[in-house]
Amino acid sequence: MNRVLKGDEPSFGPFVTLAAVSGASGFIGTALTPALAAQGIAVRPDARPDGQRLPLCGPALADWLRGADLVYHLAGIAHDKAAQAREADFTAVNQDLTLDLYRASAAAGVRTFVWLSSIKTLGDTAAAPLGVDAPRAPQGHYAHSKAQAELGLLRAHQAGGPPLAIVRPPLVYGPGVKGNFARLLKLCASPWPLPLADACARRSLLGLDNLVDLLIHLARAANPPTLIHVRDEEEWRTTDLVSELRRLAGRPNRQFFVPASLVKAVARPLGLAATVSRLFDPLRVDAAPSMRSLGWRPPHSARELLEKTWRWAATQ
């Protein structure tokens, strides 16, 4: 784990002995917590042994943070819950809770605060890779709440808050994945022909194991960048991703050509414009400067992690 780029000399800080992890029972948290333990880092999750979530406010929050060197704030309302959640819910959880937790971490003497944001704060599409300095262009309540939380955290950090690492991943896939990627896995397992031969725009993705490796690397970084972009080294066109998933499923490729413009036109009145956009439109991430600054690179290939994800999906 934690490969270092040849020629880089990252600065490492004091060894982290205790990490407080919010969202420890979620998709990313359930992968991160055992990986931290394997590195000799004690984990304090935001849930009791019976699975009941701790209230991250008042005395319970102070107790949860006491003695922690590092906070990983992973808890939040995900973008695939947009249909069930109101704008006020996204604001309360993704924005207000994040800022409250950062301020409480500062008061508790936490050395570093790592927060999982999203590349969606910069928009839903990008033909050219998005760098950390790209202007924010959030679309929808989820992305807007994340963008506002970013701005609030940056203000608090500049006012003297503890070291802050805001990580902006693209779509994360791996065992346990839900939402759009889980639906794509089911489609690729089916025998149905798919109209995706013209889905040729490139999209950045991030395997769960690569994200976990980065998060653990941040536990050792003395002065991490405030804004961090990360992705797998490989990018995918949707048509190629479907080909790979169907190969893993043992299915014929069976994609046929329908112009992207026609698919989008049909999807719009059906309320599927956003779903189709995620298949046909580009969303690329420039992670190279962040990786150079951290002296880190993804240790796993996308094909390796797609195969791991498929093996999990085949058991569901």
Say how many C-beta atoms besides its own lie within 10 A of residue 120's C-beta: 23
Predicted confidence at residue 64, as pLDDT, reads 95
Measured between its terminal Cα atoms, the distance across the chain in Å is: 28
pLDDT of residue 49: 65
The reported pLDDT for the residue numbered 55 is: 75
DSSP string, the chain: -----TT----B-SPP-EEEEETTTSTTHHHHHHHHHHTT-EEEESB-TTSPBPP-SHHHHHHHHTT-SEEEE--S--GGGTTT--HHHHIIIIIIIHHHHHHHHHHHT-SEEEEE--GGGG-S-EEEEEPTTSPP---HHHHHHHHHHHHHHHHHHHTTPPPEEEEE--EEESTT--HHHHHHHHHHHS---BS-TT---EEEEEEHHHHHHHHHHHTTBSS--SEEE---SSEEEHHHHHHHHHHHHT----B----HHHHHHHHGGGT-HHHHHHHHS-EEE--HHHHHHHT---SS-HHHHHHHHHHHHTT-
Contact 79, 94 (CB under 8 A): no
Walk along the chain (316 residues) and give the pLDDT tens digit of each residue: 443 333 344 455 557 899 999 999 999 999 999 999 999 999 999 986 666 677 777 888 999 999 999 999 999 998 765 556 789 999 999 999 999 999 999 999 999 999 999 999 999 999 999 999 999 999 999 999 999 999 999 999 999 999 999 999 999 999 999 999 999 999 999 999 999 999 999 999 999 999 999 999 999 887 899 999 999 999 999 999 999 999 999 999 999 999 999 999 999 999 999 999 999 999 999 999 999 999 999 999 999 999 999 999 999 9
Query: What structural domains and CATH numbers belong to the chain?
Result: 18-313 (3.40.50.720)
Q: Cα–Cα distance between 41 and 34 in angstroms, integer?
A: 9
Is 0.95 topped by the overall pTM?
no
Q: How far is CA 104 from CA 29, 57, 63, in A?
A: 21, 9, 11
Q: What is the pLDDT of residue 9?
A: 42
pLDDT in the model for residue 13: 56
